[in-house]
Amino acid sequence: MVVVTQKKIPDKSVISSSLTHNFKVTDTIGVLFTGLLSDAKNILQRMRQYALEFLDDYGYDIPVNVLAQKTSEMCQFYTQRAYMRPLCVISMLYSIDIEKGPQLIKIDPAGHFVGYRACSTGEKEQQTVNYLEREIKNKDKKELTEEEAIALAIKSMQTVSKMKLIILFFIFN
């Protein structure tokens, strides 16, 4: 599994290594956020709480789809209450499941979640998704190797954004 993100530094006085939107929820689940970092840290704290409660109750790590459902229910709850501000963040959970293989689930601020093979969020999201769909369709439904996935991710970001990129790779075995 390959997760690629563009790292934008808002100010030259900010130390670039201190700024990230990619976090570890459990040993097997990671999350990439797009949006307000304060809302992202709130959701991350809740995700970790859900994961620990699940581990305590059932004795094994939480599956990524269960974590996505619980998180989406919380996000949807925030949109229903007039006295609560909706969380302004898009979450992309990723994991490699022993039985199901690599999984990628995107959760929007309204609480809707969907699984993907390849996904994009942020600026020029639709152009990137269209490019990824076209390239993956050309691969004839075969599994991508690690090198092919990295090359496709870099090429999609460079083609769509046409700018210099700082790219982070997170590869799980």
List of domains in the chain: 2-171 (3.60.20.10)
Structure tokens at 84: 């609560």
pLDDT digits over 49-87, tens only?
999 999 999 999 999 999 999 999 999 998 888 888 888
In whole angstroms, give the CA distance from residue 62 to residue 70.
Answer: 11
Residue 95 contacts residue 29 (beta carbons within 8 Å): yes
In this prediction, residue 142 carries a pLDDT of: 66
In whole angstroms, give the CA distance from residue 60 to residue 124.
Answer: 38
More confident call, 38 vs 17? 38
In this prediction, residue 12 carries a pLDDT of: 73
pLDDT bracket for residue 121 (50, 70, 90)? confident
pLDDT at 169 over 60: no
Q: How many CB atoms lie within 10 A of CB 55?
A: 13
Cβ contacts of residue 115 below 8 Å, gap of 6+? Answer: 65, 103, 104, 105
In this prediction, residue 19 carries a pLDDT of: 66
Partners of 97 in the β-ladder: 101
More confident call, 9 vs 54? 54
C-alpha distances in Å from residue 115, one per residue of 60, 102, 104, 163, 168: 22, 11, 6, 28, 22
Token pair 């790292």 is at which residue? 7
Q: What is the DSSP letter of 68?
A: H
